[in-house]
Amino acid sequence: MDQRGCREPAAVNAVQRGTIRRGYLDAEVDGESIQLHFRSCGDEDRPLLLLLHQTPSCSAMYVRLMPLLARDFFVLAVDTPGFGSSDPLPGVVSIAGFAKAIYTAVSGQFDRPALVFGHHTGAAIAVQLAYDQPAFVRALALSGPTLLSDEQKAALPKAAATIPADADGNHWLLMWQRLRGKDPEAELALSLRETLSAFACGDYYEASYRAVVEQDVAGQMAVIHCPALVFAGGQDVLRSAVSPSVRLLSEGRAATLPQDAGTYVCDRQPAAVADLLRPFFLDVAKAG
């Protein structure tokens, strides 16, 4: 079962390869206990691959990608604090706070290093993890890295401004238009999921974008020395950050996603993402 107080085991060996299991990990942040919801797929004895999602989504954005990687990895997708079914942070919202909570929860349950993939806000958290916990992060893959221009930094929080509820329900239409506008060609169920996620996380939508803006991602990238693969779809608003990110990362290299891929590439073109991640992370895992 996937209910608080009646949780599934954190990991089960020899599960059917494509089966996605769900549960909770415990973490202590600033002296307070919180729980982080996760989805997992694959055998636990394989290399640990941690997936970090974009805002305002949750680990549900990886349900199509995870089975494609489960043959080679134990795939763990965690809901960022305050998103999905994870508890919020006890204090100020920051990328460092997100990373600390995720590290505490994951390392507390799985006592080994991880391969880490992050998309958009998840990429920001992945960089923070590698900066704060270099012994934990074996390699990074960043989709839509958050090395933002000044113009993007000014615009990002405004794009996630809280839409207050009103009695006529106009907030539903406004949020639908915002999320649908990210990819008008996406299936309606995907846009609906993201719209519901945006309302469910409340003020964390805007707060997480402000946290991305405040992170010194350039300074962190400059001192990260693990292997790093960086890419973005041709329609991704963060595609311009790929080359500068690669130049900052001492072991960075670029890869290519389809030209028509955008912010929902992990949902809409999971095979293309898996084809980049699998050989990169397998090479790292085989190197020891």
d(Cα 109, Cα 122) in Å, to the nearest integer? 20
In sequence order, which ranges of the chain are alpha helices (DSSP H)? 66-69, 95-109, 121-132, 150-155, 170-180, 188-201, 204-214, 217-221, 242-248, 265-268, 270-287
Instruction: From 43, 66, 90, 54, select the one nearest 190 (Cα to Cα).
Output: 54
Burial class (CB in 10 A: 0-12, 13-18, 19+), 211: buried
| In the predicted structure, residue 8 carries a pLDDT above the cut 50 | no
DSSP string for 40-53: EES-TTSPEEEEEP
Residues near 198 by Cβ (< 8 Å), separated by ≥ 6? 56, 175, 178, 179, 205
> What pLDDT shows up at residue 17?
61
Q: How confident is the model at residue 16 (pLDDT cuts 50, 70, 90)?
A: low
Q: What pTM was computed for the model?
A: 0.93
Mean pLDDT of 7-20: 52
Mean pLDDT of 105-111: 95
> What pLDDT shows up at residue 11?
37
Mean residue pLDDT across the chain: 93
> What pLDDT shows up at residue 288?
78
| Residue 127 backbone dihedrals phi, psi, to 5 degrees | -60, -45
Q: How does strand 48-52 pair with strand 228-231?
A: unpaired
| In the predicted structure, residue 14 carries a pLDDT above the cut 90 | no
| In the predicted structure, residue 1 carries a pLDDT above the cut 50 | no
Query: Is the backbone of residue 184 left (phi > 0), alpha (psi -120 to 50) or beta?
Result: alpha
d(Cα 73, Cα 38) in Å, to the nearest integer? 16
d(Cα 43, Cα 136) in Å, to the nearest integer? 20
End-to-end CA distance of the chain: 36
> What pLDDT shows up at residue 18?
81
Whats the size of the chain, residue-wise? 288
Mean pLDDT of 4-32: 67
Q: Spell out the CATH class of 2-149+216-281.
A: alpha beta
- Dihedral of the alpha carbons of 140, 144, 146, 151, in degrees to the nearest 10: 160
Kindly report, residue by residue over 148-191, the tens digit of the pLDDT: 999 999 999 999 999 999 999 999 999 999 999 999 999 999 99
Mean pLDDT of 194-220: 97
d(Cα 128, Cα 134) in Å, to the nearest integer? 10
Residue 128: both structure tokens together = 């923070």
Kindly report, residue by residue over 58-105, the tens digit of the pLDDT: 999 999 999 999 999 999 999 999 999 999 999 899 999 999 999 999
Largest Cα–Cα separation, the chain:
59
> What percent of the chain clears pLDDT 90, i.e. is strictly above it?
91
d(Cα 177, Cα 57) in Å, to the nearest integer? 16
- Could you tell me if 141 and 280 are in contact, meaning their C-beta atoms sit under 8 angstroms apart? yes
> What pLDDT shows up at residue 171?
97
Find the helix or strand (DSSP H, E) in which 41 lies. Answer: strand 32-41
Residue identified by tokens 């079962």 is 1
Residue 210: both structure tokens together = 């402000």
